[in-house]
Every structure is written in C-alpha cells, then in structure tokens.
C-alpha cells in the first residue's frame, strides 16, 4: 500500500484560549474534531494522511492546562499539556514521586520532551506499523489483524490480552502513573469525571478502535497524584532497541513500602506487553509481608508472566518481562 509523505490534508485550525472554549469546539464538531497537544503523534498521522480530520483543536494556548501544583493533601496536580521536560525537572516530582520523573526522562529525545506533553504521552495511539501505515486492520475498522499471521513481523507486539488486535500501548509515563495511583481528570460539556489511571486505558476486548476511555467531546485536563506513595521506594526501567528516540519493547514501574526488611505493600505495572498497561496484582499480593530480597523478587517475576501467549516472533518478551519485574523488586530504592 502506497503511503503519501507529502503535504498534510486540509483542515480548519482552532486555537482556543480557555478550557471552556475548547470544550465548545469539541461539542460543535464532535467526531470531526482532532485534539492536539504537543502535536508529535498528531503530525505523524496527518503527514501520512491516515487520519483526515476536518478540524484540529490546538490546546497549546490554553494556559489552564499547563503547570504543576501541590494539592491540599500533599500530592500534586499536573496539567495535561504540561511539557514532559517540566515533569522531569520539577523539584516536587523528583523528591516525592521520582518514578514519574524517571519515566518522563526516558521518553524519546530531549527535543521531543520539550515539545511533547504528559497528557499526550498517555493518550497517544499504538505504534503498530500495520495500523500506522494505513492497513485496513481491526483497529482501523477492517476485518483482520495483519500482525497476527504466519508471515507477520510482530516482535514488538502483545503477549497478553490479545483480542483480535495484538497492538501494544507505547507510553512510558502511563505505568508510572498507575503505580502511583494517579487520577485522570476528564471534562466535557456534561461535567467532570475523575478516573483511576488504571481505568483510563482500554483493551481491544472493550473497544478495539480506542486505547483510552476518551470519546468525542472529552478532554483530559489534568493528572492528580495523591500523596499515598510519596517518598516510597521506586523503580523504573525501560528496554528499547535504541537508546534515544524509541518506544519501549517492555517497561516496568514499581512502588514499594518496606518496613523492617519486609514488603508491606506494592504496585507493579508493566507496559508494551498488551494494549493497555498491566498491573501485576498476583505478584503484588504474593510478595506482601515477605522479605525484600532476591527470593521474593524471583517469585514476583514468575507470577508476572503467567498467562503470557507469545506470537511467532516475540517470545523473548516473556523472560524479559520476568527479569524486569524481578529487578524492579530488588532494585526499588527510596
């Protein structure tokens, strides 16, 4: 299939100054409107002409959507269009929620972190090359998955929760936010709703054409991180093909509370192994009350990979994921 890398298709550009103005535009144009934050995922779609919205709503001028502030409970609230570099460099984030700064710092390259936003990083679409290159797969509204065939190139695809589609979530910050029990603030003309970060993402069994709960008219406005895990022991690691400007093959985020050498509680999240970040609840439950040591870490790693179903070329993700979870438990530090 020929891909056109030339001028973008024509669209009408709106640059609202307030959240209210942005929501009014989304209401007016509904499915015809494309929301743009930093524009990095947007421009890829438009340049390849695989998305052809008639209206683009650019949020860069909405100052209400930018910035990091401390909340009354000692947590933080981050505006959805806050650049990733601001998350990396913010002192409160680094001191209390270091795992998020670590995850954001591993996104792509310095130039992209200056332009890309936190909200954009968690809302970006999958990078499956069949889907991105315009093939008429299930996710694009077709009737097959080209990545799940005997001759497919699928070494970066899902080993869990495949349901017709085997694409994976590519976000680095998403597992860190779920590990921190973050809340996603979504507004529309009908009001505001707040979801656990874990429930913000959806798999193909729920909706094969979306990766998040966002629907036409919805706007992710902020991410709230409660003080619950502030100052805990953290671990984040990302494995990728290249050291910069690349998406994860597998990444892991873990937060632990350790007292007297024993793990009191934990949250362990792995991404790029399914269409949504996966919280490894079986491992969390099994290691509660156990010693913070290699043996416990090995147990967590083995439990994490239970139920994995590799494709023809991505079986390597199983031992990789097992070892990342093991390292996350052993390596978690305050």
pLDDT tens-digit readout, 203-236: 999 999 999 999 999 999 999 999 999 999 999 9
What pLDDT shows up at residue 49? 76
How high is the pLDDT of residue 47? 84
Boundaries of every domain in the chain: 12-60, 68-123+169-331
Give, to the nearest 10 degrees, the angle between helix 294-304 and helix 317-331.
150
Strand order in the sheet with 233-239: 233-239, 250-259, 262-271, 278-279
% of residues, the chain, pLDDT over 70:
98
- The predicted pLDDT at position 3 comes to 52
Helices (H) and strands (E) in the chain, counts: 13, 12
| Rounded CA separation 166/322 (Å) | 20
**Exposed/middle/buried for 141, CB within 10 Å: 0-12, 13-18, 19+?**
exposed
Report which of 71, 99, 106 is spatially closest to residue 85, judged by C-alpha positions. 106
pLDDT at res. 5: 57
Looking at residue 8, what is its pLDDT?
Answer: 84
Task: Confirm if 70 and 25 have CB atoms less than 8 A apart.
Answer: no
Distance CA 120, CA 228 (A): 25
pTM for the whole structure: 0.97
Report which DSSP code applies to 165. B
Q: What is the fold of 68-123+169-331?
A: Enolase-like; domain 1 (3.30.390)
Mean pLDDT of all residues belonging to the chain: 96
- One DSSP character per residue, 194-255 reads EEEHHHHB--TTT-TT-SBS--TT-EEEEEEE-GGGTT-EEEEEEE-SSSSS---SEEEEEE
Residue 115: the pLDDT is 97
Q: Where are the beta strands (DSSP E) in 9-114?
A: 12-14, 33-36, 55-58, 68-70, 76-79
Burial 238-263 (b: 16+ CB within 10 A, else e): bbbeeeeebbbbbbbbbbbbbeeeeb
pLDDT for 9: 86
Cα torsion 221, 114, 245, 155 to 10°: value is 0
12-60 belongs to CATH 3.30.43.10? yes
Are 209 and 198 a contacting pair, CB within 8 Å?
A: no
Task: Give residues with Cβ within 8 angstroms of 152, minimum separation 6.
Answer: 130, 146, 311, 312, 313
pLDDT at 6: 60
Predicted pLDDT at 48: 80
Residues of the chain predicted below pLDDT 50: 1-2
Positive or negative torsion for Cα 294, 300, 301, 302: positive
Enclosing H/E stretch for 263: strand 262-271
Q: Which phi and psi angles does 294 have, rounded to 5°?
A: -60, -40
Dist. CA 321–CA 279, nearest whole Å: 13
Give residue 263's pLDDT.
98
Question: From the centroid of its chain, how far is CA 303?
Answer: 23
- Report the pLDDT value the prediction gives residue 1, as an integer from 0 to 100: 46
């Amino acid at each position: 299939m020929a891909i056109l890398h030339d001028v973008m298709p024509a669209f009408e550009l709106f640059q609202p100054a307030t959240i209210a103005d942005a929501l009014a535009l989304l209401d007016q144009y509904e499915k015809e409107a494309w929301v743009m934050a930093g524009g990095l995922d947007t421009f890829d779609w438009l340049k390849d002409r695989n998305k052809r919205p008639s209206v683009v709503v650019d949020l860069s001028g909405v100052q209400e959507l930018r910035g990091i502030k401390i909340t009354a409970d000692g947590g933080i609230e981050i505006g959805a269009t806050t650049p990733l570099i601001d998350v990396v460099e913010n002192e409160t984030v680094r001191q209390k929620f270091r795992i998020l700064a670590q995850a954001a710092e591993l996104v792509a390259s310095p130039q992209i972190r200056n332009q890309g936003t936190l909200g954009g990083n968690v809302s970006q679409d999958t990078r499956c090359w069949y889907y991105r290159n315009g093939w008429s797969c299930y996710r694009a509204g077709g009737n097959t998955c080209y990545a799940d065939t005997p001759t497919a190139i699928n070494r970066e695809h899902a080993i869990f929760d495949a349901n017709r589609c085997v694409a994976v979530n590519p976000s680095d910050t998403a597992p860190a936010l779920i590990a921190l029990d973050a809340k996603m603030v979504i507004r529309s003309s009908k009001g505001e709703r707040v979801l656990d970060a874990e429930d913000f993402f959806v798999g193909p069994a729920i909706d094969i054409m979306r990766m998040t709960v966002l629907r036409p008219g919805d706007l992710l406005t902020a991410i709230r991180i409660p003080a619950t895990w502030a100052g805990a022991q953290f671990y984040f690691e990302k494995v990728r093909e290249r050291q910069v400007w690349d998406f994860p093959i597998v990444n892991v985020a873990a937060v632990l509370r350790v007292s007297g050498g024993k793990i009191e509680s934990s949250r362990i999240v792995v991404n790029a192994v399914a269409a949504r970040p996966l919280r490894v609840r079986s491992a969390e439950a099994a290691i509660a009350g156990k010693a913070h040591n290699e043996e416990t870490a090995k147990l967590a790693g083995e439990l994490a990979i239970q139920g994995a179903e590799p494709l023809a070329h991505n079986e390597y993700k199983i031992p990789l994921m097992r070892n990342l979870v093991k390292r996350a438990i052993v390596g978690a530090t305050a």
